[in-house]
Structure 1
Amino acid sequence: MAKSNKLTLAKLNTVDNENNKRKTIYVTPKKYEVNIHTFFRESLMDDVVTEYIALVDELRSKTEIDDVLIRGTLSLFNVLMLKKFTDLPFPKKIDLGGLIGISRKFMDNDITNEVINEFPKSELDKLEERFKVAQQNAAKIIAEMAVASVAQAQEISDAS
């Protein structure tokens, strides 16, 4: 009689633990240790996309939008990836402005590039595919906000 290969909770946990692959890299000239994922879980990729959509919704609801905020949205993809797939320091509660601020610190200190260059390309490609659809939708919204910002500035100028 053939032995059953039924999926049990113990076997599921074993399979799931195989997806917890990480490696340690070192960033900045001071060689600070950062742990990064080498496998991007489907659930975490969904979290990144969901958080991105929520941030775009937050942007849409803002009444005052400036060029700095619009430019800052360009780094959201990378910073959300760093937030979910590394142990880089992020505050527990962080709003859009805070996220853009920490993103700029990572970027200005070359941490963003150093970390992203260490992620496996195949994992980045998987996440990028998921993001393309979300970004296309968000790009329309951001473009609308930029047009509204210009119109708002023109109204202020005309009123003067």
Structure 2
Amino acid sequence: MIAIGEKYELVISSMRVLTLLEAFKKNKTYQMTFDKIILFDFYMKFPQTMIREGDDMSNFDFEELYSFFHAHPDRDNYHRILNFILSKNLVSKEILNSSFIYKISDSGIDVVNDIQNPFSLRMRANALLIKKNISKMSETKIKEEINSKSLNNIHLL
């Protein structure tokens, strides 16, 4: 049985991934692989650290301040998240060039668009920034940036 906290984290994580996939839905040439979802979700999960530069601790919650603990993601958890949204038919998964590619379904788009609150609007804005700026970087460069920026939070503690 899943604890309430785990259910909450699964739903929030699923919404981040769906919002991210929704931002890339019209980009036919960009292939959203498992590894790219993990990397981009770090930006979605820790936007103050990764997207919004600054030393203003008032915008940082506990998770954000300790984001360096999550710089190496739990791949099993991402399999769980993706399997959950696959089981709900919110995304599809196909094999292309020896990689699994994830695409948001029409139902997934509806879910993302039906939720209208400040949190979901910020997530959409962050996803669009990732699409515009981060998706052009190599995976190696993204990993370097994640390690660098997440470690910068140590001086805020």
Relative to the length of structure 2, the TM-score reads 0.31
Based on CA coordinates, which of the two structures has the bigger radius of gyration?
1
Relative to the length of structure 1, the TM-score reads 0.31
The higher-RCO structure (CA 8 Å, 6+ apart) is: 2
